A and B are shown apart, each in its own frame.
Chain A
Amino acid sequence: MYVAVKGGEQAIENAHTWLAEERRGDVTVPELSVAQIREQMALAVNRVMAEGSLFDPDLAALAIKQSRGDLIEAIFLIRAYRTTLPRFGVSAPIDTETMACDRRISATFKDVPGGQILGPTFDYTHRLIDFKLAADGEVDAVPERPADHTTMPRVADFLNREGLIEEAPQVDTEPRDLTREPLEMPADRALRLQALARADEGFTLSLAYSTQRGYARNHAFVGELRIGTVDVQMDIPELGFAIDIGEITVTECESVNQFTGSKTEPPQFTRGYGLVFGQTERKAISMALVDRAMRWEELGEDNVGAPVQDAEFVLYHADNIQATGFLEHIKLPHYVDFQSELELVRKLRRDVHRAQSQEAAE
């Protein structure tokens, strides 16, 4: 009987073996390869890289395979692996103006220099289940044209020429590193953006949505959304100059927000900013809206008590690995604490009963 409360090493081992079997599924169905996940589940891979804070599509695909498609579990695998990686150095800031864009749109102008490039988007598809895809995944050839390696001007810069939009604040101090220093409040914008870049997509989306529905409302236009590859450069001390060490795909969103002016700032448009690994535009747009809402103090806006204006609330609850860990830990045994509560409740009930019977007697 007492054995019933024992966990035991054998039970854990058996659970892991069963988990492995479930992961594989029906063995008569061919096994997924990491390359298949990387190529055909690319948006899941992107999310895992973004929230895992590690750009490595193969590793992210492997994590998705290992986690049976549970993306938060996959992100967790990547984060834990990331802990073991030594840090050789820090790259130079990427220059998204030189991005080779797969997609680049502006919602604030009909056309812009550089053009509107729709790219591979779901935006104009009809969300009809494509039953043909169940049997045949062949695709048509895509028309191509040679890339023009010109820089892609920023939409916000056109507004800036008239002084209609705030200057992007320039800060030259080295940003704090969220993954190497404990989070401390108040957090400056660089730190907030860092936290948002790895924040849970769903949480960020809902917060952004809440600003649209009136909780610290700040009507946002997508000034520009661009997705593509950028070079990553690093200064090599032995060489004395920066060299390209690779390229990564990122999504960048600059929102343009209405602003009627405050005590300190004239009426002008203001900016929100989002930058996320991979093609992750829902996340990048959400990030820009949340970033803008959290800037209320710096812009002299009122704190209306909206959740999104509370940086401490947002940053302490945006990380899904922290959140899911603490949430799910209540599955662990708590019987010692529960026992002490049992004793307490029994004692309190005894007191109440005693008082009641005393009252009745009187």
Chain B
Amino acid sequence: MNAQHEEPVTMDQDYNFAYLDEQTKRMIRRAILKGLAIPGYQVPFASREMPMPYGWGTGGVQVSAAVMTRDDKFKVIDQGADDTTNAVSIRSFFQRVAGVATTTRTADATIVQTRHRIPEQDLVEGQILVYQVPIPEPLRFLEPRESETRKMHSLEEYGLMHVKLYEDISRHGHIATAYSYPVKVEGRYVMDPSPIPKFDNPKLGDCAAIQLFGAGREQRIYALPPYTNAVSLDFEDHPFEASKADHPCGLCDAQNSYLDEVIIDDAGGRMFVCSDTDFCTMRQADGHKGKDAA
């Protein structure tokens, strides 16, 4: 990414602002409001076919389209990076169909659409974080039937989930879930935070920004309003632990950011760098230097 800010490009006049027609946006906004009213509850919505494939973030794209205004500043990350292929593709989609200004700076963005990460920098009031969600149902891998899992949620029947976590501990000594780690929201609904690494889980709760989750193929929207309580499931004697690679960032020397492991030569040499490219770039600009920095 060269430019930190990109000027709004001219909007494609063949489509309504942000692609979806106003009735569809209205339908999605209603689902979002319902989601905000019942934090962690999965609201069914009539997901539309979007011009990117299911699995590429159609849920997040529809949520972003529904909340976007002309004055927004839009940031898209995938794996924490602004320049991964799909982030580039979604950003250019909204430049084209909404003519909206984009940015790579977390602090400057009003809407951040993300896949698999929560930005390192704390979000603030007024910002919206939109998650792309592949499988919204935290109980799905325990029970494949939607008709059953909806019942389990309504009865608050989460015993199966605790048994699964307990079995992990008895078999491996640890809970063997490294990402999509379930949280309980306001003591009621168990929620899948999307496939973020469990390192990011503590940032879900008590967040100043609005967090919206969109699952297009599965036709579900759910939400965490600002300052919502979201607790990662655990046991008293096996408390939740947000883990990451035990290294500092090789480029900016950050001690507590989530790291990507990059293989750098045929001999299997590797370096560890921040997955959040904006966070890393800003730190380097501030003069922080890791051991692998040029």
- A-side residues, CB < 8 A to B, are 1-2, 4-9, 11-12, 76, 79-80, 82-84, 86, 179-186, 312, 316, 321-322, 324-330, 332-337, 339-344, 347-348, 351
Contacts and interface: CB of A to CB of B under 8 A. Distances in A.
B10 interface: no
B49 A2 contact: no
Contact of B49 (A11, A312, A321): A321
20 contacts: A1-B271, A2-B273, A7-B84, A180-B46, A182-B45, A326-B55, A332-B86, A335-B79, A335-B275, A336-B116, A336-B197, A336-B275, A339-B197, A340-B178, A340-B179, A340-B243, A343-B178, A344-B243, A347-B174, A348-B176
A339 B273 CA distance: 12
B59 to A, nearest CB: 11
Given A326-B54, A336-B258, A341-B178, 17 more contacts: A2-B251, A2-B262, A6-B83, A8-B85, A8-B88, A82-B49, A183-B219, A321-B53, A321-B54, A328-B53, A332-B86, A336-B116, A336-B260, A337-B178, A337-B179, A339-B258, A343-B244
Is the contact region of chain A dominated by helix, strand, or loop, or is it mixed? helix
Given A83-B20, A84-B15, A182-B46, A340 B79 contact: no
B81 to A, nearest CB: 8
B147 interface: yes
Is the contact region of chain B dominated by helix, strand, or loop, or is it mixed? loop
A343 B245 contact: yes
B125 interface: no
Contacts of A180: 46
B159 interface: no
A179 B48 CA distance: 7
Interface in B2-17: 15-16
B44 A182 contact: yes
B279 interface: no
Contacts of B80: 336
Contacts of A325: 53-56, 58, 217
Nearest to A8: B83
Interface of B: 15-16, 19-21, 24, 44-51, 53-56, 58, 78-81, 83-89, 92, 115-117, 134, 145-147, 172-174, 176, 178-180, 195-199, 217, 219-220, 243-245, 251, 258-262, 264, 271, 273, 275
> Which 3 pairs between the two chains have the least Cβ-Cβ distance?
A329-B55, A325-B54, A7-B85
Given A83-B49, A185-B146, A336-B117, A7 B179 contact: no
Contacts of A1: 262, 264, 271
A185 to B, nearest CB: 5
A341 B176 CA distance: 9
Contacts of A336: 79-80, 116-117, 179, 196-197, 258, 260, 275
A351 B173 contact: yes
A231 to B, nearest CB: 28
A8 B51 CA distance: 20
B47 A182 contact: yes
B50 A80 contact: yes
B259 to A, nearest CB: 7
A312 B219 contact: no
Contacts of A83: 19-20, 24, 48-51
Which of A11, A329, A348, A351 gathers the greatest number of chain B CB atoms within 10 Å?
A329
A337 B78 contact: no
Which of B49, B83, B172, B251 gathers the greatest number of chain A CB atoms within 10 Å?
B49
B197 A337 contact: yes
A339 B88 contact: no
A22 to B, nearest CB: 19
B52 to A, nearest CB: 8
Contacts of A316: 146
Contact of A11 (B54, B85, B92): B85
Contact of B179 (A2, A82, A341): A341
B49 A340 contact: no
Contacts of B56: 325, 329, 332
A12 B85 contact: yes
Contacts of B83: 6-9
Contacts of B146: 185, 312, 316
B199 A340 contact: yes
B199 to A, nearest CB: 7
A83 B260 CA distance: 37
Which of A186, A340, A347 gathers the greatest number of chain B CB atoms within 10 Å?
A340
Contacts of B262: 1-2, 4-5
Given A6-B83, A7-B84, A182-B45, A344 B176 contact: yes
A329 to B, nearest CB: 3
Contacts of A184: 44
A326 B146 CA distance: 17
A351 B116 contact: no
A335 B115 CA distance: 11
Contacts of B180: 337
A1 to B, nearest CB: 5
Given A333-B85, A351-B172, A339 B147 contact: no
Nearest to B176: A344
Contact of A334 (B116, B173, B199, B219): B116
Contact of A80 (B49, B87, B115): B49
Contacts of B198: 340
A7 B53 contact: no
A312 B144 CA distance: 10
A183 B44 CA distance: 8
B47 A324 contact: no
Contacts of B20: 83
B147 A186 contact: yes
Contacts of A330: 55
Contact of A9 (B88, B219, B275): B88
A80 B96 CA distance: 16
A298 to B, nearest CB: 17
B103 to A, nearest CB: 15
Given A312-B146, A343-B245, A333 B53 contact: no
